[in-house]
Amino acid sequence: MVGINSAHGGLADWGLAALPGREAEFMASVEQALAYADALGRCAVHVMGGLAGGVPRALAWDTYARNLEVAVRRAHGSGIQLLIEPLNGRDRPGYVLHSVEQAAALIDRAGLQTLKIMFDCYHVQVEEGDLVARLRRHWHKIGHIQFASPPARSEPGTGEIDYVYVFAEIDRLGWEGWVGAEYKPSSTTTDSLSWFNRAAS
């Protein structure tokens, strides 16, 4: 097991960290996630931010940062890596964290430097583009990499990203962690895995 998500709350929440008034529920989700991660061999925990479109932006962002600071302090010394993941606004409108640039700036804040970015190539390409340049720019702030092909979020080789090039760049940069195939197969799961042979050749 490489990583898990913190509890996302209700179906309309998609995370709790940025939702004011639900701090106690958020911390309970962090405690639960850390306990699960420890039992699973200290895998990473993606701290889900939440759909905060109905909250004033400044209030949501301040709540998000303060809750992350508390989570970071709680995780200190546990050996468990906390992650934050930008989700594109097309697929997840209202989510508090949309861009890698936002995530990197957040990590630069005092008290949050131990956070890492879950760099999902699909979300980055849909929201911002310039995928490889952003990968290079924020390399040392990345804690996990995921991939899928826009526009359909399908397997490599079915969309607009040249994953042979992207995977080669990930290797060149010296990535030693896992990469996660988080896509919707365009046919069967087994047939969709043909991308692996192309990428490895």
Q: Minimal CA–CA distance to 170: which of 123, 128, 132, 140?
A: 132
Strand 3-5, strand 179-181: pairing: unpaired
160 is catalytic: no
| Catalytic annotation, pick one of 69, 101, 128, 182 | 182
User: Which residue of the set 25, 69, 85, 169 is catalytic?
Assistant: 85
Q: Is 182 designated active site?
A: yes
Residue keyed to tokens 């990535």: 175
How many CB atoms are located within 10 Å of the residue 198 CB? 12
Output b/e per residue, 138-155; b: 16+ Cβ within 10 A. Answer: beebbbbbbbbbbeebbb
Task: Tell me the catalytic residues.
Answer: 85, 182
